């Protein structure tokens, strides 16, 4: 091999490494922020306490919450039991795919039912509140499970982000130099 061939091979390796590092950096940026998810919103009771309610309204709100406590506990027990069964199935090497899928479907149904119960309670509490305070029960927006903000509604203006803007300068390939 002559010097010209080894120089070309070295340049090709450098270009390949630069492109690979750039791709990895872009993928890391696209993955979003890493770390713990944001904390859950405060419980409904805490949000109600933060409102300036009259005593009669506060009593009616707590009557709704007390009436919903029994079904909520039953749902929680059923969910915990379904989660234990799912963990046991996943740990069991003899468990069939159909059994795992059936347990997953049961867990989904129980979670959906619990969510519907929470929504029903929220709507009942909302109906008791004065009209000016009804919007104050909504928790602040949390984003998705990774902590990323929710996407903008369709039709809203969105900013275009340059993926190389946050990369260290050593990862951004330089433009090719002109030959002499």
| Residues 53 and 119 both lie in one domain | yes
Domain-located, residue 177: no
Report the CATH number at residue 125: 1.20.120.1490
Domain-located, residue 20: yes
Residue range of the domain that includes 19: 1-32
Summarised one tens digit per residue, pLDDT across range 162-175 is 444 444 445 455 56
| Residues 14 and 79 both lie in one domain | no
Number of domains in the chain: 2
Distance CA 47, CA 139 (A): 8
| Residues 89 and 132 both lie in one domain | yes
SS3 at position 9: helix
Q: Which residues, other chains included, contact 72 with Cβ-Cβ below 8 Å and sequence gap of 6+?
A: 114, 117, 118, 121
| Residues 17 and 69 both lie in one domain | no
Label residue 173 left, alpha or beta by phi (over 0 means left) and psi (-120 to 50 means alpha). beta
pLDDT confidence of residue 10? 81
| Residues 55 and 89 both lie in one domain | yes
| Residues 54 and 116 both lie in one domain | yes
| Residues 122 and 47 both lie in one domain | yes
pTM: 0.54
Domain-located, residue 54: yes
Tell me the average pLDDT across 66-86: 92
Percent share of the chain, pLDDT over 70: 64
Summarised one tens digit per residue, pLDDT across range 98-127 is 999 999 999 999 999 999 998 899 889 889
């Amino acid at each position: 091999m002559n010097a010209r061939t080894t120089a070309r091979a070295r340049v090709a390796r450098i270009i390949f490494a630069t492109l690979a590092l750039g791709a990895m950096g872009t993928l890391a940026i696209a993955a979003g922020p890493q770390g713990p998810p944001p904390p859950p919103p405060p419980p409904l009771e805490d949000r109600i306490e933060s409102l300036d309610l009259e005593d009669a309204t506060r009593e009616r709100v707590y009557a709704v919450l007390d009436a919903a406590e029994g079904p909520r506990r039953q749902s929680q027990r059923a969910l915990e039991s379904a989660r234990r069964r799912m963990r046991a199935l996943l740990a069991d090497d003899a468990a069939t795919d159909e059994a795992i899928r059936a347990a997953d479907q049961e867990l989904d149904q129980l979670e959906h039912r619990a969510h519907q119960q929470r929504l029903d309670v929220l709507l009942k509490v909302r109906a008791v509140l004065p009209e000016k305070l009804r919007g104050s029960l909504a928790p602040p927006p949390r984003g998705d499970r990774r902590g990323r903000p929710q996407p903008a509604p369709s039709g809203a203006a969105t900013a275009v982000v340059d993926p190389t803007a946050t990369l260290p300068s050593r990862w951004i390939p330089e433009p090719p130099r002109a030959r002499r």
